[in-house]
Each structure stands twice: as structure tokens, then as C-alpha cells.
Amino acid sequence: MIQAENTENHGCKDARMKKPNVGLFVTCLVDLYRPNIGFAAIKLLEQAGCTVEVPKGQTCCGQPALNSGDYANSRDIAKQVIETFANFDYVVGPSGSCIGSIKTHYTELFENDPEWLGKARDLAKRSHELLSFLTDIMNFDAVQSTFAAIATYHDSCSGLRELGVKKQPRQLLGKVNGLTLKEMHNAEVCCGFGGTFCVKYPEISTRMASDKVENITESGAEVLLGGDMGCLLNISGRLKRLDSSVKVYHTAEVLADMTDIPAIGDGEND
């Protein structure tokens, strides 16, 4: 697992050490559709003993351009991200796919540029997906949350396969009062979002999302949790269109006890 390479431990219980300074990488979808996840991330990081800043200059990580094969624009965006987050001990984001891009793909963009390759590697070392950062780097387990529900967990592809995020969210969710986790069949299979994929091939995407909804329904869960807003938006949209009553939340919202707003995809009046 990639996180295991980082043996530094700023554990919150060790008061002698300076609090790690975390730059929160908010991500586009959280900024635009679900700021609550960003605030939940700040709350959790602070509970874990970090100081958190949200640098203003931040933008998209460039993943849509990168995955569309537009390396020139991806490179420009990456440089901007690298500079914005240059002075933090850690860069943490509530998304396996955005952090996956920063951590595993930025270096590919600068293969022929030693100066920026060095900077990209440095950023990659300091970057972490939120839930795995809390467990693997901060040894955080003091979850203070109550959420009475039967939930199932969707493993988002990039977090799972690029970053090894699998047991960390389950470990943390196990500490939530009243929450029961029930695994669904094919939790690790893509939900059909795939960034631009769902726009270019809507019929195939819809079919994959319907398969996901079928597995969620069969699990008997009332709530779907995950760690990536792209997948959660996609799945919640499909759940709605198939008249499901299953509610969707980001794991950070549940862990931070910030679920007193309408679920993802539910309007204020639902």
C-alpha cells in the first residue's frame, strides 16, 4: 500500500510534536455540489490533531483533461496545484480519484522535465485521500458520531486501486454509534461514472449504474456511503430515477456527525 511508505506519524496523542499543517484539497464536485463534505473534512482533520488551511488559489486537479489525453493542459493545471500546495506538511482531499491523479499521475506528466518532476514527486509523497490519511497517518480512531442506519459501502475505483483505500473507511465507520455496515455484492465494481465516460456513453453508464443500484437494493441497506463525490452523485441520480428510498452520504459527513442536511441528490424540499 502506498501509504505504508510514509512512516512519519504526527499522532494526535503526542502533544510534544507540532500539529501537522494540512492543506485541504477541496475538489470541484465538493466545492460546487456538496460543500458540507469539505467542512466535514476540516472537522475530522482537526479532531485528528491537524491544523487545516484551505488555500484560495486551488482549482481542479486536472483529471478530466488528463483522462481525455490532453497532457499539455493537464501539465499547466498540475503546476498550479503543485505551487498552491507547496508549503503544507500534507495535502488531503475527500476523493480517491482527485488525490489518485495528484499522487500517481502527475509524475507521468513531467517525465521529461526534471525540475517539475521533483516537485511532482514531493507533492505525491505529501498527498493523501482523507479517510486513509486519518487512519494510516494520523492513527485517528476517536470518531464522535451517531448515525442510526443500515449502510452499505461502494468502493470507488481510483481510491481502491490507485491508493489502496478499502479497510480504512470501514474501520472508521465501525466506530459510529448506531451504524450497521452490510456489504453489497460487487462493491468493488465501477458504478459507471468514469468522469467524461458518463457523458460520452450515457447508455452504457446508465446500465452500469443500474447494476450498482440493484446490488445496493439487494444488500438491504437504507444508506449508501462512499468516499468520492463523482460516484456518489452518479449513484444517487440513478437511485432517484429508479424510485429508491436509499439515502446517499459521503463517509466524511457521517464520521463528522454532519448528516443533518438533505442527503446527496435530495433537494431541500424532498
Partner 1 sequence: MQPSSHNFKQNAKVALADKDLQIALAQVQEGFINKRARVVDKLAEFEQLREQGKQIRNHTLEHLDYYLERYEQAVTKLGGHVHWARDSEEACKIILDICQQAEAKSVIKGKSMVSEEIGLNDVLEQSGMDVIESDLGEYILQLAEEPPSHIIAPAIHKTKDQISDLFVKHHAQYGYSERQTTVPDLVNEARAVLRQRFLEADVGITGGNFLIAETGSNIIVTNEGNGDLSCTLPKVHIVTSGIEKVIPTLDDATAMLRLLGRSATGQEITSYTTFSSGPKRPGDLDGPEQYHVVLVDNVRSKMLADEFREMLRCIRCGACMNHCPVYGSVGGHVYGWVYPGPMGVVLSSMNLGLEETKDLANACTLNGRCAQVCPVKIPLPDLLRNLRRQQKRNLTAWQFVTG
Q: Which of residues 131-160 bind partner 1 (CB under 8 A)?
A: 157-158, 160
Which of the stretches 26-34, 63-71, 126-134, 257-265 binds partner 1 when contact is defined by CB under 8 A? 63-71
- Does residue 96 interact with partner 1 by CB under 8 A? no
At 127 the three-state DSSP class reads strand
What distance in Å separates the CA atoms of residue 201 and residue 132, rounded to the nearest whole number?
32
Closest CB 92 distance from partner 1, rounded Å: 22
Task: Tell me the torsion sign for CA atoms 109, 112, 118, 119.
Answer: negative
Report the relative pairing of strands 127-129 and 90-93 from DSSP bridges.
parallel
Closest CB 71 distance from partner 1, rounded Å: 6
- Does residue 87 interact with partner 1 by CB under 8 A? no
Q: Which of residues 195-234 bind partner 1 (CB under 8 A)?
A: 195-197, 200-201, 203-205, 207-208, 211
Do residues 218 and 184 lie in contact, with contact meaning Cβ atoms separated by under 8 Å? yes
- Sheet containing 127-129: give its strands across: 51-53, 21-24, 90-93, 127-129
- Does residue 189 interact with partner 1 by CB under 8 A? yes
What distance in Å separates the CA atoms of residue 246 and residue 99, rounded to the nearest whole number?
28
The single residue among 122, 188, 218, 266 that binds partner 1, judged by CB under 8 A, is 188
Give the binding site for partner 1 (CB under 8 A): 66-71, 157-158, 160-162, 188-190, 192-197, 200-201, 203-205, 207-208, 211
